[in-house]
Amino acid sequence: AQSVSQHNHHVILSEAASLELGCNYSYGGTVNLFWYVQYPGQHLQLLLKYFSGDPLVKGIKGFEAEFIKSKFSFNLRKPSVQWSDTAEYFCAVIPMEYGNKLVFGAGTILRVKS
Amino acid sequence: GAVVSQHPSRVICKSGTSVKIECRSLDFQATTMFWYRQFPKQSLMLMATSNEGSKATYEQGVEKDKFLINHASLTLSTLTVTSAHPEDSSFYICSARDRLGGLNEQFFGPGTRLTVL
């Protein structure tokens, strides 16, 4: 089935460690790609998005993601995490062939130890 | 800008009653709003797409007679859970797409926690 896969459900890091969260999708054709973050008790916020152009996308709070079309991937990275990055991160895809519907991955819960 | 609100944030109801959840775009007009459901420790699942002035489009497996959606204006969509049962307890989240926005970006509301006793 068509889907969005996030590789890790739980990640625990120490402050200053580097972060990479994997995201793969199985849709062909043109896609719009997103990473959302949900801090404890708060609503979903957009971290970054990719529609076209430079496949390396920079978002808020020092996050970036790289679209690798050949690998159907859109991994999220941050060179040095902070305790305040503790949250749940969702990768989401709009596969254009299926209309303007966001399909979410299962989410990755990141806990940063201070 | 691009703020979406939901009301109520939490609701507890008895089995068999109906509950209405409102989703409002506060500073933009949204021709399209989306309703999602999030179970504990799971991702958001799209329930339906709500288009202003027309019928909602429901995803496969979502009962349209159980989850009534009305998108009466460019800033308001409502989801009514009719004859709610405990299995309907969940976190319901709406999102809205800016009518004037040329890109496929959705802005999310804070969600509504529904508990059916």
Nearest to B22, CA basis, from B70, B66, B62: B70
CA distance A96 to B21: 29
Q: Which of residues 75-94 of A touch B (CB under 8 A)?
A: 90, 94
Task: Please report, rounded to a whole number, the percentage of residues in chain B having pLDDT higher than 90.
Answer: 68
Task: Decide if A5 contacts A23 (C-beta within 8 A).
Answer: yes
pLDDT digits (tens, 9 = 90+) for A4-21: 999 889 999 999 999 999
Task: Decide if B10 contacts B54 (C-beta within 8 A).
Answer: no
CA distance B72 to B24: 11
Question: Which residues have C-beta within 8 Å of that of residue A11, sequence separation ≥ 6?
Answer: A19, A21, A108, A109, A110, A111
Contact status of A51 with chain B (Cβ, < 8 Å): yes
CA distance B105 to B87: 31
Contact status of B30 with chain A (Cβ, < 8 Å): no
CA distance A81 to chain B (A): 23
CATH architecture of A4-113: Sandwich (2.60)
Asked if B110's CB is within 8 angstroms of A42's CB, the reply is yes
Contact status of B111 with chain A (Cβ, < 8 Å): yes
pLDDT under 70 in chain A at which residues? 1-2
Task: Decide if B85 contacts B15 (C-beta within 8 A).
Answer: yes
pLDDT digits (tens, 9 = 90+) for B56-81: 999 999 999 999 999 888 899 999 99
Task: Decide if A32 contacts A93 (C-beta within 8 A).
Answer: yes
If one counts every other C-beta atom within 10 angstroms of the C-beta of residue A32, the result is: 18
CA distance A17 to chain B (A): 25
Residue of chain A whose alpha carbon sits nearest to that of B39: A106
CA distance B62 to A41: 27
Contact status of B2 with chain A (Cβ, < 8 Å): no
The encoded tokens of residue B29 equal 């007009």
* Identity of residue B56: A
CA distance A14 to chain B (A): 23
